[in-house]
Each structure stands twice: as C-alpha cells, then as structure tokens.
Amino acid sequence: MRMIHHDRQDYPVSVAEQEALVDAILNGDAEPTVIFTEHPPLYTIGTSGSEADVLSRCIDGESIAVYATGRGGEVTYHGPGQLLCYVMADLRAEQDLHRHVHRLEEAIIRTLADFGIQAGRDPRGIGVWVGGKKIAAVGVRCRKWITFHGIALNIHPNLRHFSGIVPCGMADAPVTSMQTLGSDAGRDQVEQVVYSHCAIFSSPGA
C-alpha cells in the first residue's frame, strides 16, 4: 500500500485529496493508499451525528472549527498530537465494509502493542479502547467499494478539546492518549509502526 505523508492539512483539503484518490483508484490510475496527516483543532460531524453533540466551539480560549462530513459515525475531534490514518482501500472484490473497519482497529491495536499498550475493542462502539477509554476513533465512507476517511489515534493531543463534544455520541466514554498511558513516542515513530501494519489492508480474510 502506498503511503502519503503530510505534516498538517486543513480538513477540507484533506477530504478533497481523499476523494481525488478514490476517483483515481476507480479509474485504474492509482493504487490503494494510506495518508498520514494531522489537522488544526476541529470537530467533525458524521452521518449519524448531530449539532447537539457539539457543546462548545471554544475551549480554553481556542476556537475550534466544525465540519459536517460524509463519513460514518457521530461527532469526533481532530487536532495536533493526533495521527490521522486515512485509508483508500479497494474492496471491490471483497465488498465487506465491516471487515475493513475491523482491520482499521486491528492495525492500531497491533501498533499500540508494539509500544507496550494493551488495547482492544469495546461493545459500546467501534474504535480502539484501553481500560474503558477510547484511544482511537474510526469513521469511514465507501464509494463504489473504495474506502476513504479512516482512524484517528491519540498520541498526545490536548484532551481538554474533547470536552467540547459528546465523543461518538457517548457521554460515558472518556478518551485517553498514548502520552497519558506513559508513552513518550513521537508522531514519526508511531506513523512508521502503523505503516508496518498496513499490509493487513491487502490481506484477504484478515
């Protein structure tokens, strides 16, 4: 799987890049791709989300933008210190979006294990969890069985920014980060480990 790295992108620019890649893959002009990036502080509202779950657009004096987006899921936060892994995978042969979501979670679970953090799934919702707290959120969209959007891993974000929303529609689902759990890993290091697990997206039956 090809990798694209950006230090930081505005959210609309990122979505436009993903949509262009989806079209290119459909036309046979690009291969499946993972984009690693970071965004300025913002909240996104998924197709199951509601403006009512955005409680504040200003945290500690910092303004936080809000975007409606076509990905699945509800409301989530993106910002500095969080690694966005946007995966354009080709599911035309498989046509199983649930398995794709499972792979996104699995790639992050394996990554965290490499950093000594035991993570897993939780019956309360999709994503990756540690001790009842969410450390990575998942939201995907699929066009003609090419996926985009993906998973956001909290490395060392400002967790206060999550107080402005009801994360993923669950008021009782506190969030955590790798830093909070004792890891001092930087983004570049985490990104390389995540990428080492991206072969899972090309593994039928995984």
Of 58, 85, 142, 168, catalytic: 168
Q: Which helix (DSSP H) or strand (DSSP E) does residue 169 occupy?
A: none
Chain segment 35-81, per-residue pLDDT in tens: 999 999 999 998 888 888 898 998 988 899 999 888 878 889 999 99
Give strand pairing partners of 85: 36, 151
pLDDT of res. 19: 97
Predicted model pTM: 0.94
pLDDT at 172: 59
* CB distance 45 to 78 below 8 Å: no
Q: Which residues on neighbouring strands pair with residue 146, listed in sequence order?
A: 90, 143
pLDDT of residue 53: 85
Helix (H) or strand (E) holding 99, with range, is: helix 97-114
Q: Which CATH class is domain 2-202?
A: alpha beta
Q: In the chain, what is the straight-line distance between the N-terminal and C-terminal CA atoms, in Å?
A: 15
> Which tens digits make up the pLDDT trace of 3-44?
999 999 999 999 999 999 999 999 999 999 999 999 999 999
Q: Where are the domains of the chain?
A: 2-202
Confirm whether 168 is a catalytic residue. Answer: yes
User: At which residue do the structure tokens 């909070």 appear?
Assistant: 180
Residue 144's CB: how many other CB atoms inside 10 A? 11
Structure tokens at 114: 């490499």
